[in-house]
Amino acid sequence: MKIQVSIAFLAALVATAPAMAGPVSVDSPWLRETAPGAKAGGGYALIRNTGKAEDRLLGGRTAVAASVDVHSMTMDGNIMRMRPVSGGLAIAPGGSVALKPGGYHLMLMGLKRPLKQGETVTITLRFAKAGEVPVRFRVEPIDHQLGGGHDHH
Ligand SMILES: [Cu+2]
């Protein structure tokens, strides 16, 4: 009984293993599904840095879009504004940054086709120190939350 539980636990760990490059890991990556004809899409994940030096997320690339930029989102009165993060998004040593709806996010610009719920899209993220990290993003419905419902904070 105990062995069965352990194997199930290990299998669960493998299924949700984050993409890693040195001290940087990318957990719970997902893309928001897009409407037909949409030219941009949003990407989200939890990025952790267990190292002793700051790293910076600079952007990425993917086969399904012309470019992948890092954006911030802020409220300007009642208007939501998105801006590219200049110089990259800092991930502090021992810290983490959540890319999530309404906050920092990956912006897929020049989408070549709609992103369909349930499919998996590889985006190669580019960090200043960790370099290029290929990450498999799952396309989720618009109301999806970070962590796929396993994370409730
Ligand atoms: Cu954006």
pLDDT at residue 4, rounded to an integer: 61
Is the per-residue pLDDT at 28 higher than 50?
A: yes
Q: 145: CA distance to ligand 1 center in Å? A: 17
The CB-side HSE value for 41 (13 A sphere, CA atoms) comes to 33
Q: 7: CA distance to ligand 1 center in Å? A: 41
104 — phi, psi (to 5°)?
A: -60, 145
Q: 44: CA distance to ligand 1 center in Å? A: 11
101, part of any domain: yes
Q: 111: CA distance to ligand 1 center in Å? A: 13
pLDDT at residue 38, rounded to an integer: 94
Q: 34: CA distance to ligand 1 center in Å? A: 13
5, part of any domain: no
Is the per-residue pLDDT at 98 higher than 80?
A: yes
Per-chain mean pLDDT for the chain: 88
Q: 103: CA distance to ligand 1 center in Å? A: 9
- Report the DSSP pairing between strands 120-127 and 55-62: antiparallel
- Structural tokens at position 79: 């208007």
Average pLDDT over residues 36-42: 94
52, part of any domain: yes
- Structural tokens at position 33: 């599904």
CATH code of 96's domain:
2.60.40.1890
- Counting residues of the chain whose pLDDT is more than 90, the rounded percentage is 73
pLDDT in tens, 67-97: 999 999 988 899 989 999 999 999 999 999 9
11, part of any domain: no
Predicted TM-score of the model (pTM): 0.82
C-beta separation of 116 from 9 below 8 A: no
Q: Which residue has the tokens 């399904």?
A: 64
Residue numbers of the domain that contains 43: 19-140
Return d(Cα 83, Cα 77) in angstroms, integer.
16
134, part of any domain: yes
Domain total in the chain: 1
151, part of any domain: no
pLDDT at residue 144, rounded to an integer: 80
106, part of any domain: yes
- Structural tokens at position 44: 């989200």
